[in-house]
């Protein structure tokens, strides 16, 4: 009988574990690639974009549409132009660590003013079927922008100083490579009226779709934990919609 050591062969169980770990690693790498370069999930924290986007909505954002790329990439697949009416996700100019979602109403060269809360672009009233005006008291700065007669306590000081040099004949002139954005919920949105233009370089992407929504507590009618979880799931799935 031989006294040598027996060769160690991996068992079927070990092979299965290695295969599973490899598959998990591949999924993680693929997910990181997707989130880094193509789409990324975001959650809506406030009601400034209601009714288009609601508090608790989870978005998938297309990061390629407006992506900055090299010369070769621009020749093969040039980035889309940011157009008036587009929804955009961008780094908040006051605190770039935060992401905001707003709608573009002014592109470079546009003359912007608001009268009675309605937007005029280059002297013409902008048709905005998405705009929503929640009940609120009149506000001269918000509704008659750009009003330099009174400041709003929520206005960023640096923007207030810059605003005075950006107004020509009662219009705000949108500079090159910058955009004027507003929330769809016009009476309850801090936007370019309060902190200024959005640089092209700060735009992250374009919202594609809402893939889930966390309902408000008052919308949950179930009496048990399980019933409430079921309500959350049903409401979340029904909220799925493509954004335009």
Q: Are 183 and 212 in contact (CB under 8 A)?
A: no
Q: Are 200 and 131 in contact (CB under 8 A)?
A: no
Catalytic residue of the set 48, 147, 189, 192: 48
Catalytic residue of the set 63, 102, 147, 192: 102
Say how many C-beta atoms besides its own lie within 10 A of residue 63's C-beta: 19
**Which secondary structure element, helix H or strand E, spans residue 214, and what is its range?**
none
Based on the residue annotation, tell me whether 22 is a catalytic residue of this protein.
no
Identify the burial level of 209 via C-beta atoms within 10 angstroms of its C-beta, where 0-12 means exposed, 13-18 middle and 19 or more buried.
Answer: middle
Q: Are 180 and 196 in contact (CB under 8 A)?
A: no
Spatial separation of the C-alpha atoms in residues 241 and 221, rounded to whole Å: 23
Q: Are 146 and 172 in contact (CB under 8 A)?
A: yes
CA angle 136, 123, 94 (to 5 degrees): 55
Which value, in Å, is the radius of gyration of the alpha carbons in the chain? 25
- Residues annotated catalytic, as ranges: 48, 102
């Amino acid at each position: 009988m031989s006294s040598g050591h027996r060769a160690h062969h991996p068992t079927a169980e070990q092979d299965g574990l290695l295969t599973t770990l490899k598959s998990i690693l591949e999924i993680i790498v693929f997910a990181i690639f997707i989130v880094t370069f193509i789409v990324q999930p975001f959650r809506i924290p406030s009601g400034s974009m209601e009714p288009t986007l609601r508090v608790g909505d989870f978005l998938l954002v297309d990061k390629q549409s407006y992506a900055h790329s090299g010369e070769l990439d621009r020749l093969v697949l040039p980035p889309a132009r940011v157009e008036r009416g587009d929804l955009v996700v961008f780094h908040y100019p006051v605190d770039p660590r935060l992401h905001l979602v707003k709608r573009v109403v002014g592109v470079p060269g546009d003359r912007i003013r608001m009268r009675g809360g309605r937007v005029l672009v280059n002297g013409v009233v902008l048709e905005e079927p998405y705009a929503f005006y929640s009940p609120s008291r009149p506000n001269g700065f918000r509704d008659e922008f750009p009003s330099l007669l009174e400041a709003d306590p929520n206005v960023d000081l640096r923007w207030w100083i810059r605003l005075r040099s950006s107004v020509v004949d009662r219009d705000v002139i949108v500079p090159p490579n910058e955009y004027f954005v507003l929330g769809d919920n016009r009476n309850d949105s801090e936007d370019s009226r309060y902190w200024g233009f959005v640089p092209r370089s700060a735009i992250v992407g374009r919202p594609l779709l809402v893939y889930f929504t966390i309902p408000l507590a008052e919308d949950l009618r179930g009496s048990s934990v399980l019933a409430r979880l079921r309500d959350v799931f049903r409401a979340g799935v029904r909220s799925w919609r493509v954004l335009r």
